[in-house]
Amino acid sequence: MDEPGTGLDGNALAGPLGLIFTPDMTTAAGRCGSCGRDGMLARAPLYADAPGAVLRCPFCGEVTLRLVTAPDRYWLDLPAGTSLMIPRG
């Protein structure tokens, strides 16, 4: 797949995700619910100017994670079939 988006990747979400999850989420891997391929969350293309922050699968381009941050809460959306593998520290 050609380089999509803004040139940012999942590393840019380390701070916001670190507020929700204790482990360093840039070390997590994700399985795409669309194509089933695995990839490091940190390397997924990030669309930071979407409604919320959106990570897309680097292989098929489908949305794999959406994080919306509000003053009093977070919304974390993982599309159907998508999973995260988070290493335990």
Q: How many CB atoms lie within 10 A of CB 57?
A: 24
User: Following CA atoms 78, 51, 11, 35 in sequence, which dihedral angle do they give, to the nearest 10 degrees?
Assistant: 40
By CB under 5 A, name the binding residues for Zn ion: 32, 34-35, 57, 59-60
CB of 70 to Zn ion, least distance (A): 28
Q: Are 49 and 6 in contact (CB under 8 A)?
A: yes
CB of 22 to Zn ion, least distance (A): 27
Nearer residue to Zn ion within complex by CB, 18 or 36: 36
CB 26 → Zn ion: shortest distance, Å? 19
